[in-house]
Structure 1
Amino acid sequence: MIICVDFDGTIVDHRYPELGQPVPEAVVWLKRLQSCGARLILYTMRSEEGVAGNTLLPAVRYLQEQGVELYGVNHNPTQESWTSSPKVYADLYIDDSAFGCPLVRPPGFTRPCVDWKKIGPAVEHLCLSRR
């Protein structure tokens, strides 16, 4: 199972271009999803170049430091063989801006973020059922 995961509002609080506080349980669930076979693609608007400089590298490093292995960053490595579309292919997308995504607003956060207590178990169940 390939899962695209947004960064700001999904893994950390919205503090772009800085890194916000960790979204509760995000890293725990990302690791659990990997342990059940999910391949994670960081799918974010953060980029290597821009007005704010390289905002992508700190996000990638943050995940690496937390022990989250990325299958891809804003790109699915297997998709080049069957399409030239720039849209990143995945089986599932987790994003705080997605319609219907359960949200929570921890104290001190600038905006609501993904509620991993709800999302995590549901996605893990889906991942395990596809084994």
Structure 2
Amino acid sequence: MYLCVDFDGTVVDHRYPLIGPPVPGALFWLGRLQKCGARIILFTMRSDGGASGDVLQQAVDYLEGKNISLYGVNRNPDQDSWTSSPKVYGHVYVDDAAVGCPLVHPEGFNRPCVDWAKVGPYLEKLCRKKR
């Protein structure tokens, strides 16, 4: 399963260009989904360079430092063989801005974020079906 995951508001609290505290359950579920066979693709607006530095690489380093291996960053390497589309191909997209994505607003967080207590188990069922 290709799992495209946003960063700010999905994995960490919105503190751009800084990296906020982790969204409750995000790292647990990403690790569990990775073990289930999900290919995790970081799908984020963060970019390299600019006044704030390489905020994209900071997000990549953060995830890898938490033992989350990325299959791709803002691209799915497998789609190069069958399309030249710039849209990242995935089976599922997890983003706090997505319509219908369950959200929570933990105390101290700047904005609502993904409710991994609901999203995680749902994704795990999908991942097991894709095996």
Which TM class, normalised by the smaller chain length? over 0.9
Q: Distance in 2 between matches of 1:22 and 1:37?
A: 22
Displaced runs of 4 or more, over 2 A: none
The yes-or-no answer on 1:27 pairing with 2:31 is: no
TM-score normalised according to structure 2 size: 0.98
Q: Partner letter of residue 11 of structure 1?
A: V
Q: Could you list the runs of 5+ residues in structure 2 that have no partner in the other structure?
A: none
Offset of residue 51 of structure 1? 3.1
Report whether the alignment pairs 1:53 with 2:53: yes
Query: C-alpha separation between the residues in 2 aligned to 1:10 and 1:51?
Result: 24
Moved more, 113-122 or 75-84: 75-84
**Could you tell me the TM-score, scaled by structure 1's length?**
0.98
The separation in 2 between residues aligned to 1:119 and 1:70, in whole angstroms, is: 19
Match of 1:100 in 2: 100
Q: Distance in 1 between matches of 2:61 and 2:52?
A: 17
Q: Which runs of 5+ in 1 are unaligned?
A: none
How far did residue 53 of structure 1 move? 2.0
Instruction: Give the count of matched residue pairs.
Output: 131
- Cα distance between partner residues in 2 of 1:55 and 1:34: 23
Corresponding position of 1:89: 89
User: Quick one: percent identity of the two aligned structures?
Assistant: 63
The amino acid that maps onto 1:99 is V
What's the C-alpha RMSD, in Å, of the aligned pairs? Answer: 0.7
